[in-house]
Structure 1
Amino acid sequence: MGRSWRDGTGMLGVAEGVAVPLEIAASYRARRRGLLGRDGIDGALLLTPANSVHTLGMRFPIDVAHLDRHLRVLAVVTMRPGRIGLLRPRARHVLEAEAGAMAGWGLRAGARVVLTADPAPGA
């Protein structure tokens, strides 16, 4: 699964018939910014590569899903603003969404997700 991700958009396939809009943050700059300065997000944000996150400076609580190299969910946690998350050594990617969203999508530990990136402009 040596896929090289780029900043952009796409879709997150969670369960049968559940597709969620996805933002991809693959560059250092995009990962560093993450959801800071926002009041919410429609869909999810993929941070890649990443194995931990923090909510310092965030305005709203988020759900965090750690994914392994095969896009299998290792853990899902809800984090309030101002927290530092645990390091997940096997995690290669992190999904973030508004608190409660992942439960509504049926996303839980052990599930496998499908990530589809939109083509880059000019590609």
Structure 2
Amino acid sequence: MQKRRYCVYNQTRESFLSLGVAVADTTMTRLKGLIGKLSLGLDEGLWIVPSRGVHTIGVLFPIDLIYLDDALKVIHVVESFPTFRVSPLITHATSVLELPTHTIYSSQTQPGDQLLICLGEEMESQLKMATTNLGLSS
């Protein structure tokens, strides 16, 4: 059975951060994280739920970190977090996105931004609902 992949969209900046994020939501998947991968593709990532911080011990490449609260609002970002380190512990975070380096820069994501994370097939309807709620639809 193939793992489900999620899309990550920054509603504030109107940009996609990733189209292929896997979820690490069990003790084993959170513990393993990105260990064993040789690289992270441009549209790959890992959403660690729950999490207030991560480590890159055993990870062979730097990553961007985006800390989220329970409403998927960005509360902290770390660009190009190095290998073999323990990240800051952000007490208000409920999850952390691990993404390829330069994702934060290229999407201009910053604290306060609102993200939308859902399965690819749900993204279109979620975006339509969001624009309708903002009064942007015709």
Say whether the fold is shared (TM-score over 0.5). Answer: yes
Amino acid at match of 1:103: Y
| Counterpart residue number, 2:50 | 49
Structure-2-length-normalised TM-score: 0.74
The answer to whether the 8 Å contact 2:52/2:89 transfers is: yes
The answer to whether the 8 Å contact 2:17/2:103 transfers is: no
The answer to whether the 8 Å contact 1:55/1:80 transfers is: yes
Does residue 63 (structure 1) correspond to residue 59 (structure 2)? The answer is: no
* Consecutive unaligned residues in structure 2, runs of 5 or more: 122-138
Identity of aligned residues (%): 26
Shift of 1:54: 0.7
The answer to whether the 8 Å contact 1:8/1:118 transfers is: no
Does residue 106 (structure 1) correspond to residue 104 (structure 2)? The answer is: no
Structure-1-length-normalised TM-score: 0.83
Does residue 16 (structure 1) correspond to residue 20 (structure 2)? The answer is: no
The answer to whether the 8 Å contact 1:65/1:73 transfers is: yes
Distance 2:22 2:109 in 1: 17
Q: Which of residues 82, 93, 97 in structure 2 aligns to 1:80?
A: 82
Higher helix share: 2
* Consecutive unaligned residues in structure 1, runs of 5 or more: 1-6
Aligned pairs, number: 113
**Change in 2 beyond 3 A, CA 1:114/1:81:** same
The answer to whether the 8 Å contact 1:8/1:25 transfers is: no
The answer to whether the 8 Å contact 1:24/1:46 transfers is: yes
For residues 83-116 of structure 1, the C-alpha deviation after alignment (integer angstroms, 9 at most, x for no partner) is 1111111000100012212211222111110000
Which one has a bigger Cα radius of gyration? 2
